[in-house]
A and B are shown apart, each in its own frame.
Chain A
Amino acid sequence: MRRQRAVRLLRRLLGSAVSILLLVTLVFFLAHLTPGGPAFSILGQKATPGSVAALNARLGLSAPLLVQYGIWWGHLLQGNLGYSYLLNRPVGALLWNYEINTLVFYTIAICLSTGLAILLGLAQGVWHGRWPARVIGAFQLVFYATPPFFTAAILVLCFGVWLHWLPASGIGNPRLAHPGVGTYAAHLVLPVVTVMLLTVPMLSRYFGEAVHEELAKDYVRTARAKGVGFAGILFTHVLRNALRPLVTMLGLSFPYIFTGGVLVESVFNYPGLGWLLWRSALGRDYPVLIAIVLLIGLLTVLGNLLADVVNGLLDPRADYE
């Protein structure tokens, strides 16, 4: 039993490794094959064919693509992710710097979203088909269909530009050396709300549907027949069974906690990994770009795995399958 489980886990990890390998390879070649290159971004207006060629040679970009690809793997196996062309820093350290910002931002956003989604979903499941559930459902549909850049723009306009309640961009007052936690928190409000407006409708809809389905199951009728009250049915019986689809969804969104939404971070000029991904894609900063893609791949696998483990704890019938 235990050994079977280990074998299955191993097989799955191997499969995931192959997917990540393919992903990284694909991105590597696609990035290098698109026109333009880091030399233009670095040299800007002053670029001449001669200076571009010289810079390319210095960056190792004049070698054949396959050789570059081989060198990249050679470095990776030594734990070296390369050196950013644009920001002049080792990729590993760079990623770590931006990572912390993203981690704080998305951990807060996902935790708040999950909490709110559970409350809304419970309400929706319990009142299924009646007006409270319909109102919630209408809001879910509207916000789920609204693209985050639009939501972000509206929020910035209302609370940043007109009302001046909240800062609209960045993470701190650049004029202060140590802006403090309060300033940082104020800068986080709008990005977090933007992410929540996107994730809460999605999570709560799945969860609400699950609650509704579980409430109709035979074991709920059994619990009622035992004399268990409504709160007992909801929290000791239904909640745990209904959480499984939510956990799966959270597992899928796990990579976002680390890489951040490219859109949200760039709209708010929030210096996280999503923003870095966007910048390095525009500036053809290949080492950074590929490192982030690799990270996303690893986190996707890890997220799925974590979701399965949690679901295995929630449901004794589930194995790592």
Chain B
Amino acid sequence: MTPVLEMRDVTVTLPRGGRDVAVLEHFNLTIAAGEMLALVGESGSGKSVAALSILRLLPAGARITGEILLGGEVVTEARLRQLRGGVAGMVFQDPLAALNPTRTVGSQIGEAWRVHKGGSRAAAWAKAVALLAEVGIPEAAARAKNFPHQFSGGMRQRVMIAMALACEPKLLIADEPTTGLDPVIARQILGLIARLRREMNLAVLFVTHDLSVVAEQADAVHVLYAGRSVEWGRAADFFAQPRHPYGEALRGAVAWLGQGRLANIPGQLPEPEARPPGCRFAPRCAYVQAACEKAYPPPVEAGTIVACLYPLRDVPRAAAVVVESVAKTFAPLLEVRNLSVRYGKAVVVADVSLRIGQGECLGVVGESGSGKSTLGRAILQMLPYAGEVVLQGQALTARHRARRQIQVVFQDPRESLNPGLRIGEVIAEPLRLAGVARGAALAQAEALLGDVGLSAALMDLYPGGVSGGQAQRVAIARALAGGPALLVLDEPTSALDVSTQALLLNLLRELARKRGLSCLLISHDLAVVSFLADRIAVLREGRIIEAGATAALLAGPREDYTRQLIEAAPRLQL
């Protein structure tokens, strides 16, 4: 049987700084009907380029060499319009941006149908309504008349899927379709794709940076690193034992539920201009040998197929760590009493009371819109609220100096660091505010940079000149500078790649242990929260519906909603 998608020796170059730079090299891929292949890699790996090259949706100036076959037919410029949507449909990451804001979803889905099948507008509309119902949108006939902004994130992605599948293509190319969605919603979208795959015998190319998303459903895995394939094969083989050191590191870096330790991948992805001549992972590899740096290693079969001179053998698995079930006790630090926040008439946080002890980390989980970030901001005294926030026996107000005792790290480090200040100045600023002399403040800033694992060379750089992971560590150093009593971490890792996230989570855990740091960790990702938090509070619609020690909560949730969150969290089944 001919495979649905075949890519042979595909190389893609993109113009960068006036030169064509290869972002994907000698890439081979085959997907059969009904098969789901997960194309995995971190940002800069070339995975999205590979996905976009199939239907030639790359930005202007991109050059593709090699052969791409869809349903046995070579993709050519002349046949492109028939193939797009007809043989392969595409779903993108950010459905709000990917849908035209000024047209109803019904007309946009109908358009996908009419482009290929013709027919009247009325027939296309009827088809669109049927498709919306098919992807699980209630009251499809009425909802078809709505515009994209009137849907929730998950519903929008369903609309995208309905559009991609309007003409019953053989292949669905999904480029990070669940990134940015809440875990529970993401799981529903994955479930939908799985059902459609069964019903339509659909081949699925699932592009993602997050292994945990595809662990349960992918038949095959293909790992890309810096534009080259490093490991590929059956998903079961891969998850049982990755053979490439990068594959192994990637699996270890994902925060799976109940994970005791996260693997660090030191260093950074090389820029396309500065790639090492041999194995691209060599500079970061823990097992590197001299031969690795000479040439790209020829792929060998070793369970999976792996482009490595020294594929990993079976590593004896360490016995599962017994989670200490003894509840630790903490001296009281922060107490929040009956805190409520309203935006206009809407109650965003309703009557929340919680305590954080000295040296304790409290995790707050909830989906977007649950009020978790608002709660954090109220505790930081950044917005008006009703109720009381008591820190070390002292009730805080917005004008209180003691509010400096609570510091914050936000989700997007690039947005939250002043781009016009050097990193040294960013970190020294809280100290300068506290009256420390400039020289002393800068010296302390340098020490803090060391504490978060960054070199002092970064002191004179601007935030724009460092990577996202480094910028987030700078943000942590800045938050630590004033010696705060409490750190509020608002989704500190969700804008980062898996390996960077692992690095940061390990760093936070280490800091918490060493410095006896107390923190309020806000996240939608239960796996991340359970990794750091001593206790977890589940927030839903502004209320804490359940709280308890981490291990106890994960083992025996009382509420259905908590159970759903736990089910949606990534889990490595071996």
Among A218, A222, A240, A241, chain B packs the most CB atoms within 10 A around the CB of A222
B437 at the interface (CB under 8 A from A): no
A175 at the interface (CB under 8 A from B): no
A213 at the interface (CB under 8 A from B): no
Chain A, range 217-241, C-beta contacts under 8 Å to B:
217-219, 221-229, 232, 236-237, 240-241
B112 at the interface (CB under 8 A from A): yes
- Of the listed stretches B77-85, B183-191, B376-384, name the one at the interface; the rest are far from the partner chain: B77-85
Q: Given B81, B102, B115, which contacts A240 in the complex, CB threshold below 8 Å?
A: B102
Contact B101 A241 (CB under 8 A): yes
Given A217-B97, A219-B98, A241-B102, residue A227 in contact with residue B90 (CB < 8 A): no
Contact B102 A314 (CB under 8 A): yes
Taken together as a complex, chains A and B put the C-alpha atoms of A224 and B112 apart, in Å, by: 10
Contact B57 A316 (CB under 8 A): no
Contact B81 A225 (CB under 8 A): no
- Interface bits B20-47 vs A (CB < 8 Å: 1, else 0): 0000000000000000000000000000
Contact B100 A223 (CB under 8 A): yes
Contact A228 B111 (CB under 8 A): yes
Q: How far is the CB of B5 from chain A (nearest CB, A)?
A: 15
Q: How far is the CB of A230 from chain B (nearest CB, A)?
A: 10
Residues of chain B contacted by A224 (CB below 8 angstroms): 55, 57, 84
- Interface bits A184-227 vs B (CB < 8 Å: 1, else 0): 00000000000000000000000000000000011101111111
Taken together as a complex, chains A and B put the C-alpha atoms of A41 and B458 apart, in Å, by: 75
Chain B, range 223-268, C-beta contacts under 8 Å to A:
none
Contact A227 B82 (CB under 8 A): yes
Contact B116 A227 (CB under 8 A): yes
User: Which residue on chain B has the smallest CB distance to residue A219?
Assistant: B100
B469 at the interface (CB under 8 A from A): no
Query: How many A residues face the partner with a CB closer than 8 A?
Result: 21
B147 at the interface (CB under 8 A from A): yes
Taken together as a complex, chains A and B put the C-alpha atoms of A218 and B83 apart, in Å, by: 19
Q: How far is the CB of A10 from chain B (nearest CB, A)?
A: 19
Taken together as a complex, chains A and B put the C-alpha atoms of A218 and B149 apart, in Å, by: 15
Among B57, B82, B101, B164, chain A packs the most CB atoms within 10 A around the CB of B101
Residues of chain B contacted by A317 (CB below 8 angstroms): 101, 147, 149
Q: How far is the CB of A8 from chain B (nearest CB, A)?
A: 14
Taken together as a complex, chains A and B put the C-alpha atoms of A217 and B163 apart, in Å, by: 18
Among A227, A240, A315, chain B packs the most CB atoms within 10 A around the CB of A227
Given A316-B102, A317-B147, residue A218 in contact with residue B92 (CB < 8 A): yes
Among A225, A228, A237, chain B packs the most CB atoms within 10 A around the CB of A225
Residues of chain A contacted by B84 (CB below 8 angstroms): 224-227
Interface residues on chain B, size class: 20 to 34
Residues of chain B contacted by A237 (CB below 8 angstroms): 100, 103
Contact A221 B81 (CB under 8 A): no
Contact A232 B115 (CB under 8 A): yes
Contact B147 A316 (CB under 8 A): yes
Taken together as a complex, chains A and B put the C-alpha atoms of A224 and B89 apart, in Å, by: 11
User: Which residue on chain A has the smallest CB distance to residue B104?
Assistant: A316
B71 at the interface (CB under 8 A from A): no
Q: Is the interface of B mostly helix, strand, loop or mixed?
A: mixed
Taken together as a complex, chains A and B put the C-alpha atoms of A315 and B115 apart, in Å, by: 24
B463 at the interface (CB under 8 A from A): no
Taken together as a complex, chains A and B put the C-alpha atoms of A222 and B81 apart, in Å, by: 13
B451 at the interface (CB under 8 A from A): no
- Interface bits B66-84 vs A (CB < 8 Å: 1, else 0): 0000000000000001111
Taken together as a complex, chains A and B put the C-alpha atoms of A217 and B166 apart, in Å, by: 22
Residues of chain A contacted by B97 (CB below 8 angstroms): 217-219
Q: How far is the CB of B124 from chain A (nearest CB, A)?
A: 12
Contact A222 B92 (CB under 8 A): yes
Taken together as a complex, chains A and B put the C-alpha atoms of A154 and B361 apart, in Å, by: 77
- Interface bits A101-118 vs B (CB < 8 Å: 1, else 0): 000000000000000000
B94 at the interface (CB under 8 A from A): yes
Residues of chain B contacted by A218 (CB below 8 angstroms): 92, 94, 97-98
User: Which residue on chain B has the smallest CB distance to residue A221?
Assistant: B57
Residues of chain A contacted by B83 (CB below 8 angstroms): 227
B86 at the interface (CB under 8 A from A): yes
Residues of chain B contacted by A314 (CB below 8 angstroms): 102
Contact B147 A225 (CB under 8 A): no
B99 at the interface (CB under 8 A from A): yes
Given A222-B90, A226-B115, A316-B147, residue A241 in contact with residue B100 (CB < 8 A): yes
Taken together as a complex, chains A and B put the C-alpha atoms of A206 and B69 apart, in Å, by: 42
- Interface bits B94-126 vs A (CB < 8 Å: 1, else 0): 100111111100000001100110000000000
Contact A222 B98 (CB under 8 A): yes
Residues of chain A contacted by B86 (CB below 8 angstroms): 227
User: Which residue on chain B has the smallest CB distance to residue A128?
Assistant: B60
Contact A221 B112 (CB under 8 A): no
Q: Given A221, A226, A316, which contacts B111 in the complex, CB threshold below 8 Å?
A: A226
Taken together as a complex, chains A and B put the C-alpha atoms of A159 and B81 apart, in Å, by: 50
Taken together as a complex, chains A and B put the C-alpha atoms of A37 and B286 apart, in Å, by: 92
Taken together as a complex, chains A and B put the C-alpha atoms of A315 and B149 apart, in Å, by: 11
Among A217, A218, A240, chain B packs the most CB atoms within 10 A around the CB of A218
Q: How far is the CB of A206 from chain B (nearest CB, A)?
A: 18
Q: Given A222, A228, A236, which contacts B99 in the complex, CB threshold below 8 Å?
A: A222
Residues of chain B contacted by A228 (CB below 8 angstroms): 111, 115
Taken together as a complex, chains A and B put the C-alpha atoms of A269 and B275 apart, in Å, by: 71
- 21 pairs of residues in contact across A and B, judged by CB atoms under 8 Å: A217-B97, A218-B98, A219-B97, A222-B98, A222-B99, A222-B163, A223-B111, A224-B57, A225-B90, A226-B85, A226-B112, A227-B116, A229-B81, A232-B111, A232-B115, A236-B103, A315-B101, A316-B102, A316-B149, A317-B101, A317-B149
- 19 additional contacts, CB 8 Å, given A221-B57, A224-B57, A314-B102? A218-B98, A219-B98, A219-B99, A219-B100, A219-B101, A221-B98, A222-B90, A222-B92, A223-B100, A225-B164, A226-B85, A226-B112, A226-B163, A227-B116, A228-B111, A236-B103, A241-B100, A241-B102, A316-B101
Interface residues of B (CB under 8 A from A): 55, 57, 81-86, 89-90, 92, 94, 97-103, 111-112, 115-116, 147, 149, 160, 163-164, 166
